[in-house]
């Protein structure tokens, strides 16, 4: 069975992880099928990047997500949704501010 999980790379006490599709019976750092992302917990904020279309593809083929990868995906999608929502809220405010400025100049 295929699993999407973390593979440790990096140096001693400075871990960096690759998100890989791997057979579940293979060792953590063993032969993998595909690299679908990476995770760096040592930077602030944590860097987590995946190829969502490849993750979706492998999940559709029956691959399971490890608990850690699932948690990171949920956290990352929540942060992306919050960022997008903030950008959408900021855009109309700027447009309203511009149009209000035009109306104040026209007043008598």
What is the tally of structural domains in the chain?
1
Q: Name the band, by pLDDT with cuts 50, 70 and 90, for residue 108.
A: low
Specify which residues 50 forms β-bridges with: 37
Q: Name the band, by pLDDT with cuts 50, 70 and 90, for residue 10.
A: very high
Bond from prior residue into 79 cis (ω within 30 degrees of 0) = no
Each residue's pLDDT tens digit, 44-79: 888 999 998 999 999 999 999 999 999 999 988 877
Task: Name the average pLDDT for the chain.
Answer: 83
Asked whether residue 102 is domain-assigned, the answer is: no
Asked whether residue 107 is domain-assigned, the answer is: no
At residue 101, does pLDDT exceed 60?
Answer: no
Asked whether residue 55 is domain-assigned, the answer is: yes
pTM higher than 0.85 for the full model? no
Asked whether residue 92 is domain-assigned, the answer is: yes
Asked whether residue 104 is domain-assigned, the answer is: no
Torsion over CA of 39, 41, 43 and 48, rounded to 10 degrees? 30
At residue 103, does pLDDT exceed 70?
Answer: no
Asked whether residue 108 is domain-assigned, the answer is: no
Asked whether residue 17 is domain-assigned, the answer is: yes
Asked whether residue 68 is domain-assigned, the answer is: yes
Q: Is residue 26 within 8 Å of residue 17, measured between CB atoms?
A: no
Q: Identify the domain containing residue 81 by its residue range.
A: 2-97
CATH number, domain with residue 29: 3.30.1320.10
């Amino acid at each position: 069975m295929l699993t999407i999980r973390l593979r440790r790379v990096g140096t001693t006490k400075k871990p960096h992880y690759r998100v890989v599709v791997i057979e579940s019976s293979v060792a953590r750092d063993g032969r993998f099928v595909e690299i679908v992302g990476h995770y760096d917990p040592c930077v602030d904020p944590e860097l987590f990047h995946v190829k969502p279309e490849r993750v979706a593809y492998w999940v559709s083929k029956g691959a399971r997500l490890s608990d850690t990868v699932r948690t990171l995906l949920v956290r990352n999608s929540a942060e992306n949704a919050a960022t997008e929502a903030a950008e959408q809220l900021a855009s109309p405010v700027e447009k309203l501010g511009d149009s209000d400025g035009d109306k104040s100049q026209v007043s008598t």
